[in-house]
Amino acid sequence: MLFNRHPSLAGMVYQQPTQDEIRKMPQFYRADLTMVRELGGTHLKKMVELIKPSRQWKHYSVDSRCSMLMKGMYPCIPGWHCDDFYRPSRDAQPDLSIIEEQAPSEHFIMIFGDCSKTSFLDQDVELPHTCTNDRSYYGEGHRLIEEMKLQEEVLVPGEIWRFSPLTWHKGNPATHAGWRYFIRVTGSNHREPKNEIRTQTQVYMTDPFAGW
């Protein structure tokens, strides 16, 4: 199956918040645009105003996280993956051959802070659309992509990028200590907002003894 479908730069937020401002920014879980405009502060409000969806979606939901990272820590589960947000059953592994037909969506992502940046694949790639062995789907996809040594594009903090559920990307380990803020706006016809304030955020480490 052909993946990536060319993620694209969709805008720039020029005024970067300071590290002190980043650590005080609110965190949302599947918040609608009205909630973010009311409670998100200047930087989040500007971001959601700048997005330009390619079509009109029934639902828009916003996820955001603020992470305090030390060098080597990840702000998300390490590895290449897609933001598909659709599984036929709760315990199922993804089958991305049905995503565009059964659950189309469109994502916009931006980060503040330069300690840990997001990478996108910078070329199309042929990969299986579902599990072909006993490994997790994204675990196997990560292995295949790493073996191919494909080109990457690293996001610049403050850039808004548009991508699809068929776009492979990954979080990277922090290069230095700092605060990092992630925001993703998702347009879809199936992912209804929940309007929750996120009260905790995990960090991830490949070495449990690094940095402590």
pLDDT tens column, 113-148: 999 999 999 889 999 988 877 678 999 999 999 999
Query: What's the chain's average pLDDT?
Result: 91
Greater model confidence, 75 or 212: 75
pLDDT beyond 60 at 212? no
Residue 42 to residues 16, 36, 54, 63, 186: CA-CA distances in angstroms?
11, 10, 24, 16, 20
SS3 130: coil
- Identify residue 194 by its one-letter amino acid code: K
Question: For the whole model, what pTM was predicted?
Answer: 0.93
How much is the CA Rg of the chain, to the nearest whole Å?
17
Q: Please, which residues bridge with residue 9 across strands? A: 161
- Count Cβ atoms below 10 Å from residue 169 Cβ, excluding itself: 22
Domains of the chain: 2-197 (2.60.120)
The C-alpha atoms of residue 141 and residue 80 are separated, in whole angstroms, by: 7
pLDDT at residue 61 in the model: 97
